[in-house]
Structure 1
């Protein structure tokens, strides 16, 4: 059995988090940098952006 399992901790997105995410979206900041700045996973950020109906990251 695996004994070093991390417990998943979910944090709600606050109004300031959403505001920051919108600013990064407008600036076309790469998702990797946003993830490190906001201390969230790339997948979490992409899901939230999709639910808000906005693009995220740099598009080639």
Structure 2
């Protein structure tokens, strides 16, 4: 039998949200922000969308 890997959800703290908004204004690339915050790009994009802020470059 193979063991199914599950990821534990990591809640966003107030500091995480401040950092996300700051990098949104600075137009930091999502890949860089992902490494910095140790979260997936998809997670960051979803959170930014729920907060109503842009993330990365906008075409």
**TM-score, with length taken from structure 2:** 0.90
- Alignment length, in residue pairs? 59
Render the CA deviation track for 1:1-60: whole Å, top value 9, x for unaligned.
5x2532211010000000000010000000000000000000000000000001001224
Question: What residue number does 1:58 align with?
Answer: 57
Alignment of 1:1-60 (within 5 A): 1=1, 3-60=2-59
CA RMSD of superposed structures (Å):
1.2
Corresponding residue SS for 1:11 = coil
Q: Which runs of 5+ in 1 are unaligned?
A: none
Q: Which runs of 5+ in 2 are unaligned?
A: none
**TM-score, with length taken from structure 1:** 0.89
